[in-house]
Structure 1
Amino acid sequence: MSTSSTVERAFTAALYSATARSGHDDALDTGASLLAADPAADAELARRGEEFVATAWRRGWQPADVVRIVRRELDEVHVRLVAALIRAQSADDRPRGRRWAAQLDELTRDEPSRTDRFSYATAVLELYRLLLRLPTLESLDASAGPASAPAARHGDGESRMLGRIRALLAKAEATGYPEEAEALSAKAQELMARHSVDEALLAARAPSPDAPGACRIGVEPPYEQTKAVLLDAVATANHCRAVWNEALGFSTVVGFEGDLEAVELLYTSLLVQATTAMTRAESAQRAGGRKRTKTFRQSFLAAYAHRIGTRLEAAARTQVTEDLLPVLATRDVAVTDRLERMFPETTTTRLRGVSDAAGWTEGAQAADRAQVEPRRPLS
């Protein structure tokens, strides 16, 4: 029997049959048994896996998206398997830009363990079953335009600016003092706003072929709805727009490249800080005799997101003078146009579970402690 025949029979049993589509374990066991009994089929099995990965790219997925959903739906062994497949497939793939390359660099390099051939084959088929059923996503490739490529005009100045922002956010995450953390975050937002205005001025003085791009940022449970609200607030304050995909656990953020990086940095840091502040507030509530509740945490995060959004917008406005408004408005129109082409139909969602007064008050107070000091407006 040829190795191709072994793989085809295993796939028919475990992936394509009616029993397999119903998720029945017997189908998986049959396919895994066929593969375990034929070591010569391993190379063909890996090649077919790379084909599944390439198909995911054609459906609009990116490496970080695939790893995220595998981690969400399966186990760590499957994450290592898919990381190895993505790395192998990338050797034959076309260049896809700086952001894609960064996602490849972040892939885990731990080789999947092989306890026994049957268990290994089972894990591979479970992974392939998931890859086979990935839906088509909106393309982030900006119609294969220049937004998917590195921007040549970004140089050492941008690297230094983003380095300063990262350093501020790292300090904010590390400090044990909430007032200091929030002041550092506010300072980081001011730098982000300044960076965004500088980008807009460069575009106005020397128009470039850059167009708005897009990226996906994971929004993981629990409390994913309030986390999506926080991400939306950060995106809006940084001249971006966000659309949440609840079913797949991410938001798509649309904006110019420098602003997208700012959103990723600040959202990740604020999420760490919000969780720390929430845990501290909850401990104080428990010390007062109150039991830990889901509604407290949901309300805390909702209030935090709302107030942080207000304060980030205020920090961003300190960088804008009236003569800059037409420049920024032009970029906003471009972002909105890209968003509407990607998502011609969107719906709004009512925020659920925000009913705890103490949680709301604590969350708002945590956000209000941010010290947003105005800077000299740019001209």
Structure 2
Amino acid sequence: MSSTDHGTGPGTGHGHSTPGDGPAGTVERALRAALYDAADSALDTGASLLAADPAADAELARRGAEFVAAAWRRGWQPADLVRWVRRELDDVHVGLVTALITAQARDDRARGRRWAAQLAELAGDSGDRPAGDRFSQATALLELYRLLLRLPALEPLREEEPHREARPGAHSRMLTRIRALLAKAEATGFPQEAEALTAKAQELMARHSLDEALLDAQGPDPDAPGACRIGVEPPYEQAKAVLLDAVAGANHCRAVWNETFAFSTVVGFEADLEAVELLYTSLLVQAQSAMAKAEAAQRAGGRRRTKTFRQSFLAAYAHRIGTRLGEVTAAAETEATDALLPVLASREVAVTAATDRMFPQTVSTRLRGVTDEAGWTEGAEAADRARMRSRPPLP
């Protein structure tokens, strides 16, 4: 990961004129006063300048759009930016950055399907807007600009759009079936049924991945691996990262966790990336539900559960789920034709090479806090109650 890029963002005086008066001059003086000094007094000075000049609002919003555009140049995406603002600041600032992203998107270039989906999701995740007097509103905006100015550069993601349309409608129908299975797994109150539904979803994902690999190999212009970022939020983020890594590995992808910014980058082919996103989200919901039931049972038995219980539970759950998903995928691949095996091998090499290019230096992290035996046992049992069924043979 690149080091933090200081002093090169918009609103810093680089590449901007500095008029002595007027709205642009007000904004320039406010930003110079507030963005480079962490003291509250500097923030108050900048906010006072902005509060006293309502005519500066449009110029201040324009500078905000430039900060957002600079974040995109540094490799950030809409979901990443909102996640980081939510972690570092408050709901008021989430509302402000969401509004800036939405406004900037109107003048931005097209950036791919996943980017568009993130923008669409922001429409229902606006946070709170600053209330109160102009001084309070200006203070919140300057706090946000301070954070945006100091964003580091992230590894750029290339969102690969498939070169072909495989069996029109088949892809969306498959995703609809998978989503329906996972929704039932999340909603049922019976752990064995949830596990069986999840296993069936993974079977469909494995089958779809094989179909996509074969079609891609037969096309004139094979696709290349892409990448996406998936949030890995506290608490128990280490165990959640292990769960995401297990899901990624079972679906022919690689995951690299960034603890500082609370996400993992998943590298793989597009159909597999979609599978990872769907399955990880569902398994996290199921794990939280199973953990709550296990804790209730522990309390009923007079034993008080702690943070280490939850960490151990999720770690064991991730470990067992990874094993079981891998078994489903392996069963699918044992039935693959001789023509498909070289294709799978070449795609694995391509994913590994793409991951190594993006992340030439990675380190392994030892999972901390897995010391509660009861938590580990309960987590393993939650992931191991149902018998995994192998899928029907490929036609």
TM-score of the aligned structures, taking structure 2 as reference length: 0.91
Residues 106-125 of structure 1: per-residue CA shift (max 9 Å, x gap)? 11365824422111111111
The answer for the alignment partner of 2:352 in structure 1 is 336
Q: Which residue of 2 aligns with 1:14?
A: 34
Instruction: Find out whether 1:2 has 2:22 as its counterpart.
Output: yes
Q: Map 1:272-291; keep pairs closer than 5 Å.
A: 272-291=285-304
For residue 207 of structure 1, report the CA deviation from its aligned partner. Answer: 4.3
Q: Is the counterpart of residue 353 in structure 1 residue 369 in structure 2?
A: yes
Q: For the Cα contact (< 8 Å) 1:173–1:273, is it kept in 2?
A: yes
CA apart distance, 1:256: 0.4
Asked whether the 8 Å contact 2:43–2:142 carries over to 1, the reply is yes
Tell me which amino acid in the other structure corresponds to 2:391: R
2:163–2:221 contact (8 Å) kept in structure 1: no
Structure 1 residue ranges without an equivalent (≥5): none
Paired AA for residue 362 in structure 1: E
SS in 1 for 2:29: helix
Q: CA RMSD in A?
A: 1.4
**Higher helix content, 1 or 2:** 1
Count of equivalent residues: 369
What is the match of residue 9 of structure 2?
none
**Separation in 1 of the partners of 2:314 and 2:146?**
36
Cross-structure match for 1:204 = 217
- Give 1:150 deviation, angstroms: 5.5
Q: CA deviation at 1:101?
A: 0.7
Question: What amino acid maps onto 2:157 in structure 1?
Answer: L
C-alpha displacement of 1:151: 4.7
Q: Quick one: distance in 1 between partners of 2:241 and 2:247? A: 10
Distance, in Å, in 1 between the alignment partners of 2:190 and 2:389 is 18
Aligned 1:1-379 pairs, distance under 5 A: 1-16=21-36, 20=37, 23-108=38-123, 110=126, 112-141=129-158, 147=160, 149=161, 151-154=163-166, 155-320=168-333, 321=335, 323=338, 324-378=340-394
Q: Deviations over 1:1-20 (max 9, x none)?
A: 3111111111111102xxx2
The DSSP-based 3-state class of the residue aligned with 1:318 is: helix
Q: Give unpaired runs (5+ residues) of structure 2.
A: 1-20
Report the alpha carbon displacement of residue 25 of structure 1 after superposing the two structures with TM: 1.6
User: In 2, Cα distance between the equivalents of 1:204 and 1:219?
Assistant: 33
Superposed structure 1 runs of 4+ greater than 4 Å apart = none
Question: Normalising by the residue count of structure 1, what TM-score does the alignment of the two structures yield?
Answer: 0.94
- Seq. identity, %: 74
How far residue 376 of structure 1 moved from its aligned partner, in angstroms, is 2.6
Cα distance in 2 between the residues matched to 1:114 and 1:120: 7
On the 8 A contact 1:97/1:150 being kept in 2, the answer is no
Asked whether the equivalents of residues 32 and 118 of structure 1 are also in contact (C-alpha less than 8 Å), the reply is yes
Deviation for aligned residue 1:368: 0.4
Q: Conserved in 2, the CA contact under 8 Å of 1:36 and 1:121?
A: yes
